[in-house]
């Protein structure tokens, strides 16, 4: 196709993806109340355990309540409409890919998507512990008013960062398949990986919540070792294939 035809197709696919997200946002609006109740449960737990003080979610402007619901709708709408907008992106790119590139892309997506959502789930599970542990530093006989927008940003960014950290091993395997780094080199950096995973887990979880930190760090290290092992297998297959080609080339 010509450049103009490519741009027209891109616009059409973006419109389909945008409409799907809007429809999913309308559907998601019906579940904003249970979502808000779920993410604010740690606040109620903290408020019930603090002596002489209370903790509450604060809506500081007239439109804060509506803004919070719209942000939740957008996040849920992106997830619900993911099959549609991901297919639109894939259908636009697929004609320009070779059969081998298509196979690799499908494999990477099949691994990255479950890992990302697993990471988001882990982030959601450790979130209440972080809120409860941080509330211990608030002096007694004082009120802790958590701004609704900042509280939502904290939860959303935590889940997003942990979700992306779970996908990093997939990128390591991709670099290995591209010939940029070998499996032996990946495995050789296990000490650095353990240090980085521990530091990341310490930053993502409260310092006093050792169990959450160790759980997150352990999962990240296991994912790194899995990526290193898969890369070693790919290296062995590549070396075997090259050796076979060399034997065929020799007289």
58-79 pLDDT tens trace? 888 888 889 999 999 998 888 8
Average pLDDT over residues 134-152: 82
pTM: 0.76
Burial class of residue 16 in the structure, from the number of CB atoms within 10 Å of its CB (0-12 exposed, 13-18 middle, 19+ buried): middle
Rg, C-alpha atoms of the chain? 23
d(CA 109, CA 114): 9
Q: What is the structure's pLDDT at 169?
A: 86
> Which of the four pLDDT bands, split at 50, 70 and 90, describes residue 23?
very high
Question: Pick from 168, 160, 176: which is nearest to 192 by CA?
Answer: 168
Q: What is the structure's pLDDT at 15?
A: 92
> Which of the four pLDDT bands, split at 50, 70 and 90, describes residue 205?
low
State yes or no: pLDDT of 84 exceeds 70.
yes
């Amino acid at each position: 196709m010509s450049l103009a035809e490519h741009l027209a197709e891109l616009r059409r696919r973006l419109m389909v993806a945008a409409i799907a997200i809007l429809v999913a946002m309308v559907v998601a609006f019906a579940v904003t109340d249970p979502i808000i109740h779920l993410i604010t449960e740690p606040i109620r737990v903290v408020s019930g355990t603090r002596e002489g003080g209370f903790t509450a979610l604060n809506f500081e402007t007239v439109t804060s309540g509506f803004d919070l619901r719209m942000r939740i709708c957008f996040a849920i709408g992106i997830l619900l409409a993911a099959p549609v907008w991901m297919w639109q992106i894939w259908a636009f790119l697929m004609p320009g890919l070779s059969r081998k590139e298509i196979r690799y892309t499908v494999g990477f997506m099949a691994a990255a998507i479950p890992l990302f959502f697993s990471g988001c789930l882990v982030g959601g599970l450790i979130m209440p512990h972080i809120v409860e542990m941080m509330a211990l530093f608030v002096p007694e006989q004082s009120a802790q008013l958590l701004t609704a927008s900042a509280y939502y940003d904290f939860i959303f960014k935590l889940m997003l960062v942990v979700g992306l950290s779970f996908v990093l091993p997939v990128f390591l395997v991709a670099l290995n398949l591209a010939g940029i780094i070998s499996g032996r080199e990946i495995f050789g950096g296990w000490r650095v990986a353990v240090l980085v995973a521990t530091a990341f887990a310490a930053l993502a979880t409260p310092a006093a919540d050792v169990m959450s930190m160790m759980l997150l760090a352990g999962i990240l290290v296991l994912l790194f070792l899995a990526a290193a092992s898969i890369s070693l297998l790919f290296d062995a297959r590549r070396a075997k294939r090259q050796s076979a080609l060399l034997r065929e080339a020799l007289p």
